Chains A and B, each alone.
Chain A
Amino acid sequence: MLKPSLINNNKQVIHKNPWFLGFVVCIFVVFVSLNIPIEKRKYGLSQSNLTTDYAGLLPERIERIVKVGDRTELQKMVKEANEKGHHISIAGLQHSQGGHTYYKDSVVLDMKTFNKVLEIDKQHKTIKVESGATWEDVQEAIQPYGLALKVTQSQSIFTIGGSLSVNAHGRDIRSGPMAGTVRGMTILTPTGEIKTVTRNDSEEWMKYVFGGYGLFGVILDVTLELTENDVYIIHTEELKTNEYEAYFEKLLRNDDASMHYARVSVAPNSFLNEMYVIDYLNTGKKDHQTPLKKERGARIGKLALDIGRQGGVLEDLFWENQKLLIKSLDGDKITRNNAMRGNSVFMEFTKPGRVEVLQEFFIPVEQYEEYISDLKRFLPANDNNDDFKIHNITVRYAAKDDYTYLNYAKEDMFGLVILIQHGLKEKEINNAKAIIQGWTDLTLKHGGVYYLPYYPYQTKEQFRKSYPKWEKFHEEKLKRDPKVVFQNIFYEYYF
């Protein structure tokens, strides 16, 4: 017990006891240390500074930002832009990395404020929601009804309009592409009309708007198909990369398998040889009560990833630890909603002079083994001393997509999401470009494509080979938006 200090008039005053003060300092330091937040990348819309997206590689000055709240005002703005020849860009959370959400001197619509949940139909399992709402907003609204999303991204932080504009995909292996889960939507067309459209719409608006990167108008609201909030049991397994194709074919035949993803080793000792899979198997039970999980352990997760980022032996250590962690999940139960809200804060990276970017390559399922085998010859197993570093490769299944025009899944594909780090000097960016262009050629050789929401390291020629329908897409853009009201850096680069 602390001995109170004797100060004036022999009064016992505990708060002046040196031991007590030392104790206070220690407790406070521990408290502050545990609560130091993870630094987040500074990016986004700005009128006073240059606007960027999440990668921050394409800074540009914009005219102004409009926080969207009212449809009629928005309609007026689009009509006015047609008359005056202004450009408009559309921004959600801005995690796309190739300037899809802004353009030089354009008016940028910040959709994040346009986020109301309009209607939940429990009987028909649908939700009507404004496009600036995040997947998390939707999950919070539907979870009390025992409902869950059919397709969403691995993290729930993105806006619905943003995800649909890039036709994102996730861990679900049964519901097809995200675009296929939209029953109807309201759009503001480039000429300023508000239209409600469905999949059977003769003008095929959905085919162009989904995966249309904000070039065919503003998605105002969508009606999404939902499913039950099933309870899954997690199954994890370690594999060799040459066993994966057979494993996945078997998994697809298992009707209980609802969600799945995998991670490939990028550690020097097991580079592209080892991988682990995580399957979510339906238990047949439904859940109405389990609360939505919050992100926990971000600091420890970040610390582990930072260790892996050091490369070499430490990357091997990180991979071994990842395997242990994943093994520990085997047999755990999780609801569908919670399986669809992965952590994201632990991935933050803010080292001055360097950047972490994503690239994604889609490969036909039956080409996976040959592709990985070629990739092993193309990439160095140990990038410890290189500027271009690969930190992570996850694999997801993307079923054939007939819902969008600029589609990446022309057949059933595996999507390899690659987390890359490189320097920001001109020489370093050019080096990254050269490697990624080589990687893209390799992907094209195997009948694959690269994904378009990321920084355009690829050439126009590679774009045209990957997306042979680009010409028709462009024609349609000019037909539906003759004044090119909806404009962004992505469009300017590729078209």
Chain B
Amino acid sequence: MKSLSERYVPLVVSVGQVVIFPYYILWLKEASLTFTLFTWFFASFSFSAAMGYRLFQAGKKPANSYIPYIYLGVGCVYILVGNIRSSFEVLPYMALLFQVILGFLQGYHHAWHIEQNAYRLHAINHYLLVGVIMVGLSFVKIISPIIFITTFGAILFICGIGLIFMKKEDRAVSN
């Protein structure tokens, strides 16, 4: 169980984040009315990621217990992005909020991930997997970006829920 949560799920998350990025960017571009706003959205992501990263470092160990909720949070954001039907007037404000949340959660997750033993092993697998998946996606012409974003959100959500239950089971066994 532990190997699943520490080896495979983080890999799914990090690969998925990169794979989903071009689709997410398409959505973000739609939500940004100007190029300036587009760059500001990235800046807010980055500042927030720095905060998430630092908060993990400053926190008392072990922080593993929060990780499933990180997956849940990121998953929820992607599901919302995929299903949002707001008018264009509200969309930039929602995009800003999503960027801040995503930045924070990803920063936090990255800080945790690099401390894991499997991180170095992930690096090679990560690059290879991203390359292969991207080549595969280049043949998919029709499906809307929204479907990919929602699907990835759902996968993360399920991972989060699954890990919460696994942890509960682990605790029950150790007691």
Residue numbers of A with Cβ under 8 A of B are 5, 16-18, 21-22, 24-25, 28-29, 32-33, 35-39, 302, 306, 350-352
Give A18 to B47 CA distance when docked, in angstroms.
Answer: 11
Q: Does B154 contact A (CB under 8 A)?
A: no
**Centre residue among A17, A18, A37, A352 by max chain B CB count within 10 A:** A18
Given contacts A32-B40, A32-B96, contact A37 B34 (CB under 8 A): yes
Q: Which 7 A-B pairs have the closest CB atoms?
A: A21-B51, A36-B92, A32-B40, A25-B47, A18-B54, A18-B55, A25-B48
Chain A positions within 8 Å of B104 at CB level: 25
Is there contact, CB below 8 Å, between A36 and B37? yes
Give A231 to B55 CA distance when docked, in angstroms.
Answer: 59
Is there contact, CB below 8 Å, between B89 and A352? no
Is there contact, CB below 8 Å, between A25 and B54? no
Beta-carbon nearest neighbor of B48 in chain A: A25
Residues facing A in B90-124 (CB within 8 A) are 92-93, 96, 100, 104
Out of B37, B44, B88, which one reaches A25, CB within 8 Å?
B44
Is there contact, CB below 8 Å, between A25 and B100? yes
Chain A positions within 8 Å of B93 at CB level: 33, 36
Q: Does B87 contact A (CB under 8 A)?
A: yes
Give A112 to B54 CA distance when docked, in angstroms.
Answer: 52
Is there contact, CB below 8 Å, between B96 and A29? yes
Extra pairs beyond A33-B93, A36-B96 (6, CB < 8 Å):
A32-B44, A32-B96, A36-B93, A39-B89, A350-B87, A350-B88
Is there contact, CB below 8 Å, between A350 and B89? yes
Q: Does B33 contact A (CB under 8 A)?
A: yes
Is there contact, CB below 8 Å, between A21 and B54? yes
Give A57 to B100 CA distance when docked, in angstroms.
Answer: 38
Give A376 to B33 CA distance when docked, in angstroms.
Answer: 40
Give A16 to B53 CA distance when docked, in angstroms.
Answer: 10
Is there contact, CB below 8 Å, between A37 and B37? yes
19 A-B residue pairings within 8 Å (CB atoms):
A18-B58, A21-B50, A21-B51, A21-B55, A24-B50, A25-B47, A25-B51, A25-B100, A28-B40, A28-B47, A32-B40, A35-B40, A36-B93, A37-B34, A38-B89, A39-B88, A39-B89, A350-B89, A352-B87
Beta-carbon nearest neighbor of A32 in chain B: B40
Out of A17, A28, A33, which one reaches B43, CB within 8 Å?
A28
CB distance from A109 to the nearest CB of B (A): 28
Give A348 to B124 CA distance when docked, in angstroms.
Answer: 50
Given contacts A25-B47, A32-B40, contact A351 B88 (CB under 8 A): yes
Chain A positions within 8 Å of B48 at CB level: 25
- Number of B residues near A (Cβ < 8 Å) is 22
Residues facing A in B1-58 (CB within 8 A) are 33-34, 37, 40-41, 43-44, 47-48, 50-51, 54-55, 58
Give A5 to B40 CA distance when docked, in angstroms.
Answer: 27
Give A11 to B46 CA distance when docked, in angstroms.
Answer: 24
Give A18 to B96 CA distance when docked, in angstroms.
Answer: 20
Give A39 to B41 CA distance when docked, in angstroms.
Answer: 16
CB distance from B77 to the nearest CB of A (A): 16
Residues facing A in B45-77 (CB within 8 A) are 47-48, 50-51, 54-55, 58
CB distance from A344 to the nearest CB of B (A): 17
Chain B positions within 8 Å of A22 at CB level: 51
Is there contact, CB below 8 Å, between B54 and A16? yes
Is there contact, CB below 8 Å, between B96 and A33? yes
**Centre residue among B37, B51, B100 by max chain A CB count within 10 A:** B51
**Centre residue among A5, A32, A302 by max chain B CB count within 10 A:** A32
Give A29 to B41 CA distance when docked, in angstroms.
Answer: 9
Give A306 to B90 CA distance when docked, in angstroms.
Answer: 11
Is there contact, CB below 8 Å, between A37 and B51? no
CB distance from B108 to the nearest CB of A (A): 11
Chain A positions within 8 Å of B89 at CB level: 38-39, 302, 306, 350-351
Give A33 to B93 CA distance when docked, in angstroms.
Answer: 7
Out of B33, B43, B47, B87, which one reaches A37, CB within 8 Å?
B33
Give A302 to B89 CA distance when docked, in angstroms.
Answer: 10
Is there contact, CB below 8 Å, between B47 and A39? no
Chain B positions within 8 Å of A5 at CB level: 54, 58
Chain A positions within 8 Å of B34 at CB level: 37
Is there contact, CB below 8 Å, between A29 and B100? yes
CB distance from A8 to the nearest CB of B (A): 12
Give A353 to B37 CA distance when docked, in angstroms.
Answer: 25
Give A33 to B88 CA distance when docked, in angstroms.
Answer: 15
Chain A positions within 8 Å of B40 at CB level: 28, 32, 35
CB distance from A4 to the nearest CB of B (A): 13
Beta-carbon nearest neighbor of B91 in chain A: A39
Given contacts A18-B54, A32-B37, contact A24 B92 (CB under 8 A): no
Give A25 to B54 CA distance when docked, in angstroms.
Answer: 13
Chain A positions within 8 Å of B33 at CB level: 36-37, 39
Give A306 to B55 CA distance when docked, in angstroms.
Answer: 39
CB distance from A13 to the nearest CB of B (A): 10
Give A180 to B41 CA distance when docked, in angstroms.
Answer: 51
Is there contact, CB below 8 Å, between A24 and B96? no
Give A26 to B25 CA distance when docked, in angstroms.
Answer: 23
Give A37 to B96 CA distance when docked, in angstroms.
Answer: 13
Beta-carbon nearest neighbor of A23 in chain B: B51
Chain B positions within 8 Å of A36 at CB level: 33, 37, 92-93, 96
Chain B positions within 8 Å of A25 at CB level: 44, 47-48, 51, 100, 104
Give A24 to B107 CA distance when docked, in angstroms.
Answer: 15
Give A36 to B95 CA distance when docked, in angstroms.
Answer: 11
Beta-carbon nearest neighbor of B87 in chain A: A351
**Centre residue among A5, A25, A37 by max chain B CB count within 10 A:** A25
Out of B37, B47, B87, which one reaches A21, CB within 8 Å?
B47
Chain A positions within 8 Å of B37 at CB level: 32, 35-37
Chain B positions within 8 Å of A29 at CB level: 44, 96, 100
